[in-house]
Amino acid sequence: MTRTAGLWKLATSGGCAAKLGPFDLDKLILGIDFHSCRTDMVIAGQETHDDAAIVALSEDKWTVLTTDFISPASDDPFTYGQIAAANALSDVYAMGGLPLVALNICCFPRQLELRDEVRQVLRGAATVAQSAGAEIVGGHTIVSSAPFYGLAVTGVVTPRKVRYMSGAKVGQALILTKPLGTGVYISAYKQGLINAQDFVVAEESMITLNSAASDVIAKYSVGGCTDITGFGLAGHAVKMAKASKVGIRLCLEAVPVFERVAQLTAMGVSTRNTDEIVIFVRDYLRGGLQNLDSYAAILFDPQTSGGLLISVPAHDAETLVEELRGAGMREAAIVGEVVSGDSVFVEVY
Ligand code: CO
Ligand code: CO
């Protein structure tokens, strides 16, 4: 791998950490009327807070739409393109769909000496899109001093196979398919606290499509499902709890993380988005977690191209984890459970 770091050096934050916080996002769209004469076709839209939009073209033909673009998550431009594509495709898999086509979203500096790097980004994304069975059919470019790249993805989903955020049911077990720590690792790598060799494990995880996980879980009676991205595990757990009107208990010890996460969080490595996530999640948190200087901060770490968080009947949980591990998600684990309560909450123990 040749690490040609021109774009990486221009990035103000890495990957999904550049995302607007959940609180600011809610405020931004509050009170705006997005409805139109097509509202009847919209199965999942602004109100449902799902990972992707779903539009019914006919009774049995539903299309799934999503977009994501991120700042460089690697100093290797080809890898950055691969990660950005896997990240953008992820919401389709979270909802149980299959991607068909995608559009490039390119915001890159004008400098000619960066052209080769930009082409590498596009190549990397194309290989991942191809492996997902999705064709990149066009796109749009903007000259921007800060680089951003991603995809707008269109896919299909079978109506009875859709997985919603709101499907979590009391008594179900929660499973996470990838380890946490991409935010901390990107920060640490930017600061020179880990080397390229250490960083590879995070890069490989971010490049990994959630398609294999999606295929495996499709065989089970899944309750709720979402992918862990910019709001961190805690933020996405709160979103699932709110949508499903349940409580969620997360077992901190059971949450898989990259090898050096404990060491790096103890050194105070975090991403700038973490505080915003804490503000959003705070009102729903129960028990512990007051001391965010500690290792628990990993629950608020914004993930780029993170894994799926799935709720399934408790009696299926272990078999499903085994099957996920066999399909390559070697660190998939049961990380908590869905519980009842008088209000929506997330508790960490
Ligand atoms: Co998502
Ligand atoms: Co997204």
Buried b (16+ CB within 10 A) or exposed e, 84-115: bbbbbbbbbbbbbbbbbbbbbbbbbbeeeebe
How far is ligand 1, taken at its centre, from the CA of residue 94, in Å? 7
How far is ligand 2, taken at its centre, from the CA of residue 113, in Å? 31
pLDDT (average), residues 14-38: 80
- Band (pLDDT 50/70/90 cuts) for residue 286 is confident
Name the residue with higher pLDDT: 270 or 131.
131
Q: Is the pLDDT of residue 275 over 80?
A: no
Q: What ligand has the least distance to the C-alpha of 240?
A: 1
**3-class DSSP state for residue 347?**
strand
Q: Residue 108: what are its φ and ψ, rounded to 5°?
A: -135, 155
DSSP-derived secondary structure for 107-159: EE---GGGHHHHHHHHHHHHHHHHHTT-EEEEEEEEE-SS-EEEEEEEEEE-G
Q: Is the pLDDT of residue 289 over 70?
A: no
Quick count: other Cβ atoms within 10 Å of Cβ 133? Answer: 13
Amino acid 335 reads V
Active site residues: 16
How far is ligand 1, taken at its centre, from the CA of residue 78, in Å? 23
- 8 A C-beta contact, residue 265 and residue 187: no
End-to-end Cα, the chain, rounded Å = 41
Could you give the percent of the chain with pLDDT greater than 90? 72
What is the edge-to-edge ordering of all strands in the sheet holding 62-70?
42-44, 53-56, 62-70, 148-157, 98-108, 135-143
How far is ligand 1, taken at its centre, from the CA of residue 125, in Å? 18
- 8 A C-beta contact, residue 130 and residue 98: no
Q: What is each CA distance from 224 to 162, 173, 198, 236, 240, in whole angstroms?
A: 10, 10, 33, 11, 7
DSSP tag of 97 = -
Global pTM? 0.94
Amino acid 90 reads S
Q: What ligand has the least distance to the C-alpha of 225?
A: 1
pLDDT in tens, 157-205: 999 999 999 999 999 999 999 999 999 999 999 999 999 999 999 999 9
How far is ligand 1, taken at its centre, from the CA of residue 165, in Å? 10
Quick count: other Cβ atoms within 10 Å of Cβ 53? Answer: 18
